[in-house]
Amino acid sequence: MSLTDILSPSDIAAALRDCQAPDSFSPKKFFQISGMSKKSSSQLKEIFRILDNDQSGFIEEDELKYFLQRFECGARVLTTSETKTFLAAADHDGDGKIGAEEFQELVQA
């Protein structure tokens, strides 16, 4: 399964266009434009599984840096400040990584 099985390719493209400039990425805005914020819990779990590149059950800071590239291989890498802000917004238990439930809470907030 791929992200385009769950999200509209045109919505993904619009979300990526919105954050092309360095330091313009907003997780909440990206989730809204891409349509992720309207998805069910089971769909968000599947999206998380796809984004969890090493299948560890967590999205770590290294994976988060390449978040946009999981949607389109030519997309930019998140800046250090964007990555840290994204991680801080989702990492409720302070373990330095995002679990599936934390991801879902952030997307649906």
The percentage of residues in the chain with a pLDDT greater than 90, rounded to a whole number, is 98
For residues 94-103, average pLDDT: 97
Q: Is 63 annotated as a binding residue?
A: yes
Top-confidence residue, 34 or 109: 34
User: Could you tell me the pTM of the whole model?
Assistant: 0.94
Q: Is 97 annotated as a binding residue?
A: yes
pLDDT tens string 29-72:
999 999 999 999 999 999 999 999 999 999 999 999 999 999 99
3 pLDDT more than 90 = yes
For residues 65-85, average pLDDT: 97
- Of the options 1.10.1040.10, 2.40.37.10, 1.10.238.10, 1.10.1530.10, the CATH number for the domain spanning 7-108: 1.10.238.10
Q: Are 61 and 77 in contact (CB under 8 A)?
A: no
Q: Is 93 annotated as a binding residue?
A: yes
List the domain boundaries for the chain.
7-108
Q: Is 91 annotated as a binding residue?
A: yes
d(CA 58, CA 10): 27
Q: Is 45 annotated as a binding residue?
A: no
Q: How many CA atoms lie within 13 A of 62 on its CB side?
A: 3
Q: Is 52 annotated as a binding residue?
A: yes
Q: Is 34 annotated as a binding residue?
A: no
For residues 61-89, average pLDDT: 97
Q: How confident is the model at residue 1 (pLDDT cuts 50, 70, 90)?
A: confident
